[in-house]
Amino acid sequence: MTSPDKASQETITGVRVWVPGKLFSFTCTRPTGFRFTAGQFARLGVNNTLVIAGEPDVIWRAYSMVSGPYDEHLEFFSIVVPDGAFTSHLSRLKVGDPIWVDKTNFGFLTTARFESGKHLWLLGSGTGLAPFLSILLDPDTWNKFETIVLVHSARTVEELVYQDQIQQFTGHPLMSELVPNLAERFRYIPVVTREKAPNCLNERITTLLANGELSEVTGLTLDKADSRFMICGNPEMVTDLRNTLKIMGFSPARRNTPGEVAVENYW
């Protein structure tokens, strides 16, 4: 049994299937007193109702918040792992079903990693988009940076999810009220790697960084003084981007060590 002192049983309030059998998102009630910084993740638990052998009564996994820190609900974005113990349960949940939320927040993929900088680059692939949507919804992010670039890479166009939210972001009633000149300060760059797609770049993010195409399409120069990078996605993509940025002269932002690159390591 899960201790109520450590986790809260919440209720699924909405489910959206983006790509059947592959990608979905869901919302749930937010535990009373649960606080987090944009970019952090929560530990979610599902009851082992399928009685998967070798798994505990409650199966836990880490998921970044999609929702902003001031939203009244929590939202998460998930891939369906074939025969995965956790997503086999998670993908079956419906509105009204229970889900456990650890009362402690986790993670260091936050803008607090950077002491300075003007331009924030959010580089994500697949479900690595999740923490960046939360970061965009935090007015504090916009108080810290002049320009924010969201680069999201997916294999196919149908996997470029949250298009409605991203395309309408600059018209978000609260954000547009709190953030001056929001439309001029936000850039969205969709990337598709396994098919040609209109209005999308068609190379891996590492290539687009190295050949200068990202700099060209955004009109922003990449330099140590002004550019800050946050990376989240599959491990291979994260490793390749870190190496590319290292070659370009950028260094990791570690505790008590100023740098230009922050990476989430919970994957």
From CA 155, how far away is CA 59, in angstroms rounded? Answer: 29
Residues shown for the chain: 267
pLDDT on residue 258: 87
- The residue-averaged pLDDT of 254-265 equals 86
pLDDT digits (tens, 9 = 90+) for 190-218: 999 999 988 999 999 999 999 999 999 99
Q: Which two three-digit tokens encode residue 129?
A: 């988009």
Contact, 22 vs 80, CB < 8 A? yes
Q: pLDDT band for position 265 (50/70/90)?
A: low
Q: pLDDT band for position 172 (50/70/90)?
A: confident
Q: Which two three-digit tokens encode residue 259?
A: 């740098």
Question: What domains, with CATH codes, occur in the chain?
Answer: 7-102 (2.40.30.10), 111-263 (3.40.50.80)
Q: Is the pTM of this model over 0.75?
A: yes
Residue 2 confidence (pLDDT) above 70:
no
